[in-house]
Amino acid sequence: MLKSNPFPTAQGGYPAAARAETGGTAQTYLLRKLGWQGALWLALAIVSGWLLLNQGIPIAFKKPLLTVAIAATTGVVGLAIAQLGAVRFVVLGGRFDLFAGLAFGTLAVTNLGLGLLRPIAELSQLTPQVSMYTLLFGQAVAAVLFLVGLASARQVIPDGARRVFAWRRGVIVLVALVVGASVLLMVGDRLPNLLDPRTSDLLLDTTPCSRRSLARRYRC
Amino acid sequence: MLEALPGQALPLLILNGAVTLALLVAAIGYVDLSRRVEDPQLAWLAAALILFSFGQMHAFLFPPLPDWVSWSDGLKLVGYLVLLFSMVIRLSGEIAERASGEERLRLSRELHDGLAQHLALLNLKLRRAAGTGHSPEVRARNLEAAIRLVEAASLEARQAITALRTGRVSWAEFTRTLNAFAAEFADNHEVEVRLTAQGQIARIDAELQAEVLRLLQETFSNAIRHGAAHALDVEITAADGALEISVRDDGSGFDPHAALAGPGIGLKSIGERLERRAGTLRLVSAPGHGALVRGRLPVLSQPQRSAA
Protein backbone atom coordinates (compact mmCIF):
# COMPACT_ATOMS: atom_id res chain seq x y z
CA MET A 1 0.00 0.00 0.00
CA LEU A 2 1.42 3.35 -0.97
CA LYS A 3 1.43 5.96 1.78
CA SER A 4 1.17 9.67 1.10
CA ASN A 5 4.24 10.64 3.01
CA PRO A 6 6.76 13.41 2.22
CA PHE A 7 9.38 10.70 2.22
CA PRO A 8 7.65 7.41 1.47
CA THR A 9 9.35 4.48 3.09
CA ALA A 10 9.79 1.51 0.83
CA GLN A 11 9.28 -1.59 2.88
CA GLY A 12 8.93 -4.96 1.25
CA GLY A 13 8.03 -5.57 -2.34
CA TYR A 14 4.87 -4.87 -4.32
CA PRO A 15 2.78 -7.85 -5.38
CA ALA A 16 2.15 -8.36 -9.06
CA ALA A 17 -1.57 -7.59 -8.66
CA ALA A 18 -0.79 -4.23 -7.13
CA ARG A 19 1.59 -3.51 -9.99
CA ALA A 20 -1.05 -4.38 -12.50
CA GLU A 21 -3.56 -2.10 -10.77
CA THR A 22 -1.26 0.89 -10.79
CA GLY A 23 -0.04 0.10 -14.26
CA GLY A 24 3.61 0.11 -13.18
CA THR A 25 6.38 -0.98 -15.55
CA ALA A 26 9.29 -3.19 -14.58
CA GLN A 27 11.44 -0.10 -14.13
CA THR A 28 9.02 1.61 -11.76
CA TYR A 29 8.61 -1.68 -9.88
CA LEU A 30 12.37 -1.84 -9.42
CA LEU A 31 12.43 1.77 -8.26
CA ARG A 32 9.68 1.11 -5.74
CA LYS A 33 11.43 -1.97 -4.49
CA LEU A 34 14.67 -0.05 -4.07
CA GLY A 35 12.89 2.84 -2.38
CA TRP A 36 13.78 6.50 -2.61
CA GLN A 37 17.18 5.78 -1.10
CA GLY A 38 17.98 3.34 -3.90
CA ALA A 39 16.77 5.86 -6.46
CA LEU A 40 19.02 8.52 -4.98
CA TRP A 41 22.07 6.23 -4.92
CA LEU A 42 21.34 5.28 -8.51
CA ALA A 43 20.88 8.86 -9.70
CA LEU A 44 24.10 9.99 -8.05
CA ALA A 45 25.99 7.01 -9.42
CA ILE A 46 24.76 7.86 -12.94
CA VAL A 47 25.81 11.52 -12.55
CA SER A 48 29.23 10.47 -11.23
CA GLY A 49 29.70 7.94 -14.04
CA TRP A 50 28.73 10.54 -16.63
CA LEU A 51 31.33 12.93 -15.17
CA LEU A 52 34.01 10.24 -15.18
CA LEU A 53 33.30 9.17 -18.75
CA ASN A 54 33.07 12.68 -20.22
CA GLN A 55 36.46 14.21 -19.67
CA GLY A 56 35.56 17.51 -21.30
CA ILE A 57 32.86 18.45 -18.79
CA PRO A 58 33.95 21.24 -16.46
CA ILE A 59 34.42 19.92 -12.93
CA ALA A 60 35.34 23.17 -11.20
CA PHE A 61 35.14 26.97 -11.58
CA LYS A 62 37.07 29.69 -9.86
CA LYS A 63 34.28 31.79 -8.30
CA PRO A 64 35.37 33.37 -4.99
CA LEU A 65 32.00 35.05 -4.38
CA LEU A 66 30.11 31.83 -5.02
CA THR A 67 32.29 29.96 -2.53
CA VAL A 68 31.44 32.61 0.07
CA ALA A 69 27.72 32.25 -0.71
CA ILE A 70 27.90 28.46 -0.50
CA ALA A 71 29.85 28.61 2.75
CA ALA A 72 27.31 31.04 4.24
CA THR A 73 24.33 28.91 3.16
CA THR A 74 25.78 25.60 4.31
CA GLY A 75 27.01 27.17 7.54
CA VAL A 76 23.66 28.69 8.45
CA VAL A 77 21.65 25.58 7.49
CA GLY A 78 24.18 23.42 9.36
CA LEU A 79 23.76 25.50 12.51
CA ALA A 80 19.96 25.26 12.21
CA ILE A 81 20.20 21.46 11.85
CA ALA A 82 22.56 21.36 14.84
CA GLN A 83 19.99 23.28 16.88
CA LEU A 84 17.21 20.95 15.69
CA GLY A 85 19.30 17.93 16.66
CA ALA A 86 19.92 19.37 20.12
CA VAL A 87 16.20 20.09 20.62
CA ARG A 88 15.22 16.61 19.41
CA PHE A 89 17.79 15.09 21.79
CA VAL A 90 16.47 17.07 24.77
CA VAL A 91 12.89 16.04 23.92
CA LEU A 92 13.36 12.45 22.71
CA GLY A 93 16.70 11.47 24.25
CA GLY A 94 18.11 9.58 21.23
CA ARG A 95 21.91 9.77 21.12
CA PHE A 96 22.00 9.79 17.33
CA ASP A 97 20.07 13.09 17.35
CA LEU A 98 22.71 14.73 19.53
CA PHE A 99 25.67 13.36 17.60
CA ALA A 100 24.15 14.19 14.23
CA GLY A 101 23.50 17.70 15.55
CA LEU A 102 27.10 17.98 16.76
CA ALA A 103 28.35 16.72 13.39
CA PHE A 104 26.35 19.35 11.52
CA GLY A 105 27.51 21.98 14.01
CA THR A 106 31.12 20.96 13.31
CA LEU A 107 30.60 21.14 9.54
CA ALA A 108 28.86 24.52 9.95
CA VAL A 109 31.70 25.97 12.01
CA THR A 110 34.26 24.62 9.53
CA ASN A 111 32.40 26.01 6.52
CA LEU A 112 31.79 29.39 8.14
CA GLY A 113 35.35 29.63 9.44
CA LEU A 114 37.03 28.74 6.17
CA GLY A 115 34.49 30.05 3.71
CA LEU A 116 33.62 33.35 5.38
CA LEU A 117 36.28 34.19 7.92
CA ARG A 118 39.23 33.40 5.67
CA PRO A 119 38.30 35.84 2.84
CA ILE A 120 37.04 38.51 5.22
CA ALA A 121 39.84 38.44 7.79
CA GLU A 122 42.52 37.61 5.18
CA LEU A 123 44.47 35.52 7.68
CA SER A 124 47.99 34.97 6.40
CA GLN A 125 48.28 31.64 8.23
CA LEU A 126 45.39 30.18 6.25
CA THR A 127 47.34 29.14 3.17
CA PRO A 128 45.61 26.76 0.72
CA GLN A 129 47.51 23.91 2.35
CA VAL A 130 46.38 24.82 5.90
CA SER A 131 42.82 25.52 4.69
CA MET A 132 42.57 22.06 3.18
CA TYR A 133 44.01 20.37 6.26
CA THR A 134 41.54 22.29 8.46
CA LEU A 135 38.64 21.44 6.14
CA LEU A 136 39.54 17.76 6.14
CA PHE A 137 39.96 17.85 9.91
CA GLY A 138 36.45 19.32 10.35
CA GLN A 139 34.98 16.81 7.91
CA ALA A 140 36.75 13.93 9.66
CA VAL A 141 35.47 15.03 13.08
CA ALA A 142 31.94 15.33 11.65
CA ALA A 143 32.15 11.88 10.03
CA VAL A 144 33.34 10.35 13.33
CA LEU A 145 30.44 12.05 15.16
CA PHE A 146 27.95 10.65 12.63
CA LEU A 147 29.39 7.17 13.18
CA VAL A 148 29.41 7.51 16.99
CA GLY A 149 25.75 8.54 16.86
CA LEU A 150 24.97 5.57 14.67
CA ALA A 151 26.86 3.13 16.91
CA SER A 152 24.78 4.14 19.91
CA ALA A 153 21.52 4.73 18.04
CA ARG A 154 19.47 2.43 20.29
CA GLN A 155 20.51 4.18 23.50
CA VAL A 156 18.11 6.69 25.02
CA ILE A 157 19.45 9.04 27.67
CA PRO A 158 17.12 9.49 30.69
CA ASP A 159 15.19 12.76 30.78
CA GLY A 160 17.01 14.33 33.76
CA ALA A 161 20.50 13.69 32.41
CA ARG A 162 20.03 14.92 28.83
CA ARG A 163 21.12 18.55 29.20
CA VAL A 164 24.29 17.70 31.13
CA PHE A 165 25.09 14.91 28.64
CA ALA A 166 24.60 17.28 25.69
CA TRP A 167 26.65 20.08 27.23
CA ARG A 168 29.55 17.75 28.05
CA ARG A 169 29.67 16.30 24.54
CA GLY A 170 29.31 19.76 23.04
CA VAL A 171 32.20 21.13 25.07
CA ILE A 172 34.40 18.12 24.24
CA VAL A 173 33.75 18.58 20.51
CA LEU A 174 34.35 22.33 20.72
CA VAL A 175 37.62 21.87 22.58
CA ALA A 176 38.72 19.23 20.05
CA LEU A 177 37.91 21.60 17.18
CA VAL A 178 39.71 24.58 18.75
CA VAL A 179 42.80 22.55 19.65
CA GLY A 180 42.88 20.80 16.28
CA ALA A 181 42.44 24.03 14.30
CA SER A 182 45.08 25.83 16.40
CA VAL A 183 47.59 23.04 15.90
CA LEU A 184 46.91 23.02 12.15
CA LEU A 185 47.30 26.80 11.97
CA MET A 186 50.69 26.52 13.65
CA VAL A 187 52.14 23.47 11.92
CA GLY A 188 49.94 23.03 8.84
CA ASP A 189 52.52 24.33 6.45
CA ARG A 190 55.11 21.88 7.80
CA LEU A 191 52.84 18.87 7.25
CA PRO A 192 53.16 16.77 4.06
CA ASN A 193 51.99 18.55 0.93
CA LEU A 194 48.41 17.82 -0.03
CA LEU A 195 48.70 19.16 -3.55
CA ASP A 196 50.94 18.52 -6.47
CA PRO A 197 53.50 21.38 -6.58
CA ARG A 198 52.19 22.40 -10.04
CA THR A 199 48.76 23.14 -8.52
CA SER A 200 50.00 26.63 -7.62
CA ASP A 201 49.47 27.45 -11.32
CA LEU A 202 45.88 26.31 -11.01
CA LEU A 203 45.31 28.68 -8.10
CA LEU A 204 46.07 31.60 -10.41
CA ASP A 205 43.96 30.23 -13.27
CA THR A 206 40.46 31.57 -13.86
CA THR A 207 39.14 29.34 -16.65
CA PRO A 208 36.76 26.46 -15.88
CA CYS A 209 38.63 23.24 -15.27
CA SER A 210 37.77 19.88 -16.81
CA ARG A 211 39.40 16.49 -16.19
CA ARG A 212 40.95 16.68 -19.65
CA SER A 213 42.52 20.11 -19.04
CA LEU A 214 43.67 19.01 -15.61
CA ALA A 215 45.31 15.87 -17.00
CA ARG A 216 47.02 17.94 -19.73
CA ARG A 217 48.35 20.37 -17.16
CA TYR A 218 49.92 17.64 -15.05
CA ARG A 219 51.36 15.64 -17.93
CA CYS A 220 53.65 18.40 -19.02
CA MET B 1 46.26 6.26 -9.98
CA LEU B 2 47.80 9.63 -9.32
CA GLU B 3 47.62 10.37 -13.01
CA ALA B 4 43.93 9.64 -12.98
CA LEU B 5 43.47 12.03 -10.06
CA PRO B 6 45.72 14.92 -11.04
CA GLY B 7 46.79 17.66 -8.68
CA GLN B 8 46.40 15.66 -5.50
CA ALA B 9 49.24 14.26 -3.41
CA LEU B 10 49.00 10.91 -1.61
CA PRO B 11 48.23 12.36 1.88
CA LEU B 12 45.20 14.20 0.46
CA LEU B 13 43.95 11.07 -1.27
CA ILE B 14 44.34 9.03 1.93
CA LEU B 15 42.63 11.63 4.13
CA ASN B 16 39.86 12.20 1.60
CA GLY B 17 39.38 8.46 1.20
CA ALA B 18 39.04 7.96 4.96
CA VAL B 19 36.43 10.74 5.26
CA THR B 20 34.56 9.45 2.21
CA LEU B 21 34.47 5.92 3.60
CA ALA B 22 33.25 7.14 7.00
CA LEU B 23 30.51 9.25 5.37
CA LEU B 24 29.45 6.32 3.15
CA VAL B 25 29.14 4.04 6.17
CA ALA B 26 27.24 6.76 8.03
CA ALA B 27 24.90 7.28 5.05
CA ILE B 28 24.15 3.54 4.79
CA GLY B 29 23.67 3.34 8.55
CA TYR B 30 21.28 6.31 8.68
CA VAL B 31 19.29 4.96 5.71
CA ASP B 32 18.90 1.68 7.60
CA LEU B 33 18.06 3.49 10.86
CA SER B 34 15.45 5.69 9.16
CA ARG B 35 13.77 2.55 7.76
CA ARG B 36 13.71 0.85 11.14
CA VAL B 37 12.59 3.87 13.18
CA GLU B 38 10.24 5.24 10.46
CA ASP B 39 11.16 8.78 11.43
CA PRO B 40 10.74 11.25 8.50
CA GLN B 41 13.42 13.56 9.93
CA LEU B 42 15.94 10.72 9.92
CA ALA B 43 14.95 9.87 6.35
CA TRP B 44 15.80 13.43 5.25
CA LEU B 45 19.06 13.26 7.20
CA ALA B 46 19.92 9.99 5.47
CA ALA B 47 19.24 11.59 2.07
CA ALA B 48 21.55 14.48 2.94
CA LEU B 49 24.26 12.07 4.05
CA ILE B 50 24.04 10.15 0.76
CA LEU B 51 24.59 13.47 -1.06
CA PHE B 52 27.44 14.39 1.30
CA SER B 53 29.19 11.06 0.76
CA PHE B 54 28.94 11.44 -3.03
CA GLY B 55 30.13 15.02 -2.68
CA GLN B 56 33.13 13.81 -0.71
CA MET B 57 33.79 11.17 -3.40
CA HIS B 58 33.78 13.89 -6.05
CA ALA B 59 36.56 15.64 -4.14
CA PHE B 60 38.82 12.96 -5.65
CA LEU B 61 38.25 14.55 -9.04
CA PHE B 62 39.20 18.03 -7.93
CA PRO B 63 40.98 19.07 -4.71
CA PRO B 64 39.04 21.33 -2.29
CA LEU B 65 40.93 24.46 -3.24
CA PRO B 66 39.95 27.82 -1.73
CA ASP B 67 37.93 30.09 -4.10
CA TRP B 68 37.12 27.13 -6.41
CA VAL B 69 33.65 25.63 -6.71
CA SER B 70 33.45 22.00 -7.79
CA TRP B 71 30.83 19.28 -8.18
CA SER B 72 31.74 18.21 -4.68
CA ASP B 73 30.58 21.58 -3.31
CA GLY B 74 27.46 21.44 -5.48
CA LEU B 75 26.39 18.01 -4.20
CA LYS B 76 26.99 19.01 -0.60
CA LEU B 77 25.00 22.21 -1.15
CA VAL B 78 22.11 20.11 -2.49
CA GLY B 79 22.39 18.00 0.68
CA TYR B 80 22.05 21.11 2.82
CA LEU B 81 19.11 22.33 0.74
CA VAL B 82 17.42 18.95 1.25
CA LEU B 83 17.81 19.46 4.99
CA LEU B 84 16.50 23.02 4.74
CA PHE B 85 13.49 21.75 2.77
CA SER B 86 12.85 19.11 5.42
CA MET B 87 12.84 21.80 8.10
CA VAL B 88 10.40 23.94 6.09
CA ILE B 89 8.10 20.93 5.61
CA ARG B 90 8.28 20.10 9.29
CA LEU B 91 7.55 23.72 10.26
CA SER B 92 4.63 23.92 7.81
CA GLY B 93 3.21 20.71 9.28
CA GLU B 94 3.48 22.09 12.78
CA ILE B 95 1.78 25.37 11.79
CA ALA B 96 -1.07 23.43 10.14
CA GLU B 97 -1.36 21.20 13.21
CA ARG B 98 -1.47 24.24 15.47
CA ALA B 99 -4.13 25.93 13.33
CA SER B 100 -6.22 22.77 13.39
CA GLY B 101 -5.74 22.55 17.17
CA GLU B 102 -6.91 26.14 17.58
CA GLU B 103 -9.94 25.41 15.43
CA ARG B 104 -10.77 22.34 17.52
CA LEU B 105 -10.42 24.46 20.67
CA ARG B 106 -12.75 27.10 19.22
CA LEU B 107 -15.34 24.50 18.29
CA SER B 108 -15.16 22.91 21.72
CA ARG B 109 -15.56 26.36 23.31
CA GLU B 110 -18.55 27.06 21.07
CA LEU B 111 -20.15 23.74 21.99
CA HIS B 112 -19.43 24.21 25.69
CA ASP B 113 -20.72 27.77 25.84
CA GLY B 114 -23.68 27.18 23.52
CA LEU B 115 -25.30 23.83 22.90
CA ALA B 116 -23.99 22.12 26.04
CA GLN B 117 -25.38 24.89 28.28
CA HIS B 118 -28.74 24.80 26.53
CA LEU B 119 -28.98 21.04 26.79
CA ALA B 120 -28.07 21.01 30.50
CA LEU B 121 -30.71 23.62 31.21
CA LEU B 122 -33.21 21.80 29.03
CA ASN B 123 -32.60 18.61 31.00
CA LEU B 124 -33.29 20.50 34.25
CA LYS B 125 -36.49 22.12 32.96
CA LEU B 126 -37.84 18.86 31.53
CA ARG B 127 -37.15 17.02 34.80
CA ARG B 128 -39.05 19.72 36.66
CA ALA B 129 -41.89 19.57 34.16
CA ALA B 130 -42.06 15.80 34.46
CA GLY B 131 -41.74 15.80 38.26
CA THR B 132 -44.85 15.02 40.30
CA GLY B 133 -44.15 17.29 43.26
CA HIS B 134 -44.83 20.56 41.37
CA SER B 135 -48.07 22.41 40.68
CA PRO B 136 -49.48 22.36 37.12
CA GLU B 137 -48.52 26.04 36.70
CA VAL B 138 -44.89 25.39 37.59
CA ARG B 139 -44.80 22.39 35.24
CA ALA B 140 -46.34 24.46 32.43
CA ARG B 141 -43.78 27.22 33.01
CA ASN B 142 -40.95 24.73 32.90
CA LEU B 143 -42.28 23.19 29.72
CA GLU B 144 -42.51 26.62 28.12
CA ALA B 145 -38.96 27.36 29.19
CA ALA B 146 -37.88 24.03 27.74
CA ILE B 147 -39.47 24.92 24.39
CA ARG B 148 -37.59 28.23 24.34
CA LEU B 149 -34.37 26.44 25.16
CA VAL B 150 -34.90 24.04 22.28
CA GLU B 151 -35.44 27.03 19.98
CA ALA B 152 -32.28 28.70 21.28
CA ALA B 153 -30.31 25.48 20.89
CA SER B 154 -31.66 25.09 17.37
CA LEU B 155 -30.55 28.64 16.54
CA GLU B 156 -27.17 27.91 18.06
CA ALA B 157 -26.76 24.81 15.92
CA ARG B 158 -27.77 26.74 12.77
CA GLN B 159 -25.22 29.44 13.56
CA ALA B 160 -22.50 26.89 14.11
CA ILE B 161 -23.34 25.21 10.79
CA THR B 162 -23.32 28.58 8.98
CA ALA B 163 -20.00 29.49 10.58
CA LEU B 164 -18.45 26.17 9.56
CA ARG B 165 -19.85 26.24 6.04
CA THR B 166 -19.39 29.82 4.92
CA GLY B 167 -16.53 31.28 6.89
CA ARG B 168 -17.59 34.81 5.82
CA VAL B 169 -20.97 36.46 5.22
CA SER B 170 -22.03 39.64 3.43
CA TRP B 171 -23.45 42.65 5.28
CA ALA B 172 -26.93 41.89 3.89
CA GLU B 173 -26.77 38.28 5.13
CA PHE B 174 -25.52 39.48 8.49
CA THR B 175 -28.34 41.97 9.05
CA ARG B 176 -30.89 39.44 7.76
CA THR B 177 -29.70 36.89 10.34
CA LEU B 178 -29.85 39.49 13.13
CA ASN B 179 -33.36 40.56 12.10
CA ALA B 180 -34.52 36.91 11.98
CA PHE B 181 -33.12 36.34 15.44
CA ALA B 182 -34.77 39.51 16.81
CA ALA B 183 -38.14 38.58 15.27
CA GLU B 184 -37.92 35.01 16.60
CA PHE B 185 -37.04 36.27 20.07
CA ALA B 186 -39.88 38.81 20.02
CA ASP B 187 -42.39 36.09 19.02
CA ASN B 188 -41.18 33.59 21.58
CA HIS B 189 -41.05 35.97 24.50
CA GLU B 190 -43.81 38.40 23.60
CA VAL B 191 -41.60 41.46 23.76
CA GLU B 192 -41.06 44.24 21.26
CA VAL B 193 -37.65 44.16 19.59
CA ARG B 194 -36.60 46.99 17.22
CA LEU B 195 -33.37 46.52 15.34
CA THR B 196 -31.64 49.10 13.17
CA ALA B 197 -28.40 48.69 11.28
CA GLN B 198 -26.21 51.54 10.00
CA GLY B 199 -23.09 51.62 7.88
CA GLN B 200 -21.69 48.65 6.02
CA ILE B 201 -18.81 46.21 6.06
CA ALA B 202 -18.15 44.25 2.87
CA ARG B 203 -17.59 40.82 4.42
CA ILE B 204 -18.06 39.69 8.00
CA ASP B 205 -16.40 36.71 9.61
CA ALA B 206 -19.07 34.10 10.45
CA GLU B 207 -17.36 33.74 13.80
CA LEU B 208 -17.92 37.45 14.45
CA GLN B 209 -21.57 37.06 13.49
CA ALA B 210 -21.88 34.25 16.04
CA GLU B 211 -20.34 36.49 18.71
CA VAL B 212 -22.83 39.27 17.94
CA LEU B 213 -25.75 36.83 18.09
CA ARG B 214 -24.53 35.43 21.37
CA LEU B 215 -24.19 38.94 22.80
CA LEU B 216 -27.75 39.76 21.70
CA GLN B 217 -29.09 36.49 23.06
CA GLU B 218 -27.46 36.99 26.47
CA THR B 219 -28.49 40.64 26.69
CA PHE B 220 -32.10 39.98 25.60
CA SER B 221 -32.43 37.06 28.04
CA ASN B 222 -31.07 39.16 30.91
CA ALA B 223 -33.43 42.02 30.05
CA ILE B 224 -36.57 39.89 30.19
CA ARG B 225 -35.50 37.44 32.87
CA HIS B 226 -34.03 39.87 35.40
CA GLY B 227 -35.39 43.24 34.28
CA ALA B 228 -38.87 42.14 33.09
CA ALA B 229 -38.37 44.35 30.02
CA HIS B 230 -41.11 44.75 27.42
CA ALA B 231 -39.21 46.59 24.70
CA LEU B 232 -35.68 46.24 23.39
CA ASP B 233 -33.95 48.71 21.04
CA VAL B 234 -30.95 47.38 19.19
CA GLU B 235 -28.57 49.49 17.11
CA ILE B 236 -25.82 47.91 15.04
CA THR B 237 -23.35 50.40 13.58
CA ALA B 238 -20.44 49.59 11.34
CA ALA B 239 -17.77 52.29 11.46
CA ASP B 240 -13.97 52.58 11.52
CA GLY B 241 -13.42 48.86 11.01
CA ALA B 242 -15.52 47.92 14.02
CA LEU B 243 -19.06 46.93 14.94
CA GLU B 244 -20.82 48.90 17.66
CA ILE B 245 -23.71 46.99 19.23
CA SER B 246 -26.05 48.84 21.52
CA VAL B 247 -29.01 47.20 23.33
CA ARG B 248 -31.33 49.41 25.38
CA ASP B 249 -34.22 47.96 27.42
CA ASP B 250 -37.06 49.38 29.47
CA GLY B 251 -36.67 46.90 32.30
CA SER B 252 -36.05 47.44 35.99
CA GLY B 253 -32.33 48.06 35.53
CA PHE B 254 -29.49 46.88 37.73
CA ASP B 255 -26.26 47.94 39.37
CA PRO B 256 -23.52 47.10 36.78
CA HIS B 257 -20.77 46.74 39.41
CA ALA B 258 -22.88 44.39 41.51
CA ALA B 259 -23.90 42.41 38.42
CA LEU B 260 -20.29 41.91 37.35
CA ALA B 261 -19.13 41.08 40.88
CA GLY B 262 -22.05 38.68 41.48
CA PRO B 263 -22.18 34.94 40.86
CA GLY B 264 -23.89 35.21 37.42
CA ILE B 265 -21.58 34.33 34.55
CA GLY B 266 -23.62 35.55 31.57
CA LEU B 267 -22.28 39.12 31.36
CA LYS B 268 -18.79 38.07 32.42
CA SER B 269 -18.74 35.44 29.70
CA ILE B 270 -19.81 38.03 27.12
CA GLY B 271 -17.11 40.42 28.41
CA GLU B 272 -14.47 37.68 28.07
CA ARG B 273 -15.63 36.77 24.57
CA LEU B 274 -15.39 40.40 23.43
CA GLU B 275 -11.99 40.73 25.05
CA ARG B 276 -10.75 37.67 23.16
CA ARG B 277 -11.58 39.49 19.95
CA ALA B 278 -9.96 42.72 21.17
CA GLY B 279 -13.40 44.22 21.80
CA THR B 280 -14.92 46.09 24.76
CA LEU B 281 -18.15 45.90 26.78
CA ARG B 282 -19.80 48.84 28.58
CA LEU B 283 -22.82 48.63 30.87
CA VAL B 284 -24.93 51.68 31.76
CA SER B 285 -27.80 51.04 34.15
CA ALA B 286 -29.32 51.96 37.45
CA PRO B 287 -32.19 50.32 39.35
CA GLY B 288 -35.51 51.57 37.93
CA HIS B 289 -34.00 53.11 34.77
CA GLY B 290 -33.61 50.25 32.34
CA ALA B 291 -30.24 49.19 30.98
CA LEU B 292 -27.92 50.00 28.12
CA VAL B 293 -25.36 47.43 27.00
CA ARG B 294 -22.73 48.64 24.53
CA GLY B 295 -20.32 46.28 22.86
CA ARG B 296 -17.58 47.12 20.41
CA LEU B 297 -16.01 44.47 18.19
CA PRO B 298 -13.17 45.21 15.77
CA VAL B 299 -13.56 43.48 12.42
CA LEU B 300 -10.18 41.76 12.35
CA SER B 301 -8.71 39.11 10.12
CA GLN B 302 -7.39 35.89 11.69
CA PRO B 303 -3.73 37.01 11.84
CA GLN B 304 -4.69 40.42 13.19
CA ARG B 305 -6.84 38.73 15.82
CA SER B 306 -3.99 36.45 16.84
CA ALA B 307 -1.74 39.49 17.19
CA ALA B 308 -4.39 41.31 19.22
pLDDT of chain B, 308 residues: tens digit per residue: 344 456 677 888 889 899 999 999 999 998 888 888 778 888 889 999 999 999 999 888 888 888 888 889 999 999 999 999 988 888 888 888 888 888 788 777 777 777 777 788 888 888 888 887 778 888 888 888 788 778 777 777 776 776 666 677 788 888 888 888 888 788 777 889 999 999 888 888 877 888 888 888 888 888 888 888 899 999 999 988 889 999 999 988 888 887 777 766 677 777 888 888 888 888 888 888 889 999 998 886 555 555 54
Q: Are residues A102 and A183 in the same domain?
A: yes
**Is residue A48 located within the same domain as residue A92?**
no
Which candidate from A59, A80, A139 shows the least CB-CB separation from B71? A59
> Are residue A151 and residue A128 in the same domain, yes or no?
yes
The residues with which B281 forms a beta bridge, in sequence order, are: B295
Which of A51, A132, A150 lies closest to B26 in CB terms?
A: A150
Nearest-angstrom CA–CA distance, B287 and B258: 11
- Is residue A37, in this structure, part of any structural domain at all? yes
Residue A2, pLDDT score: 36
CA angle A179, B48, A118 (to 5 degrees): 40
A39 with A101, same domain: the answer is: no
State the residue range of the domain holding A176. 62-192
φ, ψ dihedrals at A156, nearest 5°: -120, 125
Verify that A136 and A185 share a domain, yes or no: yes
Report pLDDT for B1: 38
Same domain membership, residue A106 and residue A21: no
Residues of chain A where predicted confidence (pLDDT) is lower than 50: 1-23, 220
| The pLDDT of residue A20 | 40
In whole angstroms, give the CA distance from residue A41 to residue A30: 13
In chain B, residues with a C-beta closer than 8 Å to the C-beta of A122 are none
Q: What is the pLDDT of residue A170?
A: 94
Instruction: Enumerate the residues of chain A whose CB falls inside 8 A of the CB of residue B43.
Output: 7, 9, 36
Read off the pLDDT of residues A71-91 as tens digits, 9 standing for 90 and up.
Answer: 999 999 999 999 989 998 998
User: What are the beta bridge partners of residue B295?
Assistant: B245, B281
Query: Which residues on chain A are in Cβ contact (under 8 Å) with B81?
Result: 77
Q: Count Cα neighbours of B303 within 13 Å in the Cβ-side half-sphere.
A: 1
Task: Mark whether A43 and A93 lie in a shared domain.
Answer: no
**What is the C-alpha separation between A172 and A164, in angstroms, rounded?**
12
Q: What confidence score (pLDDT) does residue A154 get?
A: 81
Length of chain B: 308
Tell me B114's DSSP state. T
State the nearest Cα–Cα gap between B94 and chain A, in angstroms: 14
Report pTM.
Answer: 0.62
pLDDT of residue A11: 37
- The pLDDT of residue A140: 95
Q: Assess whether A27 and A94 both reside in one domain.
A: no
Residue A113 lies in a domain: yes
A43 shares its domain with A96: no
Three state DSSP letters for B123-134: HHHHHHHHCCCC
What is the pLDDT, as a whole number, of residue B78? 93
Q: What pLDDT sits at residue A219?
A: 57
User: In chain A, how many domains are there?
Assistant: 2
A203 part of a folded domain: no
**Residue A11: inside a domain, yes or no?**
no
Q: What's the complex ipTM?
A: 0.79
Lay out the sheet containing B280-285: strands in order across.
Answer: B192-198, B231-239, B242-249, B291-298, B280-285
Chain A partners of B26 at a C-beta cutoff of 8 Å? 143, 146-147, 150
Taking an 8 Å cut-off on Cβ atoms, the answer to whether A70 and B73 are in contact is yes
Residues A177 and A73 in one domain: yes
Flag whether A39 is in a domain.
Answer: yes
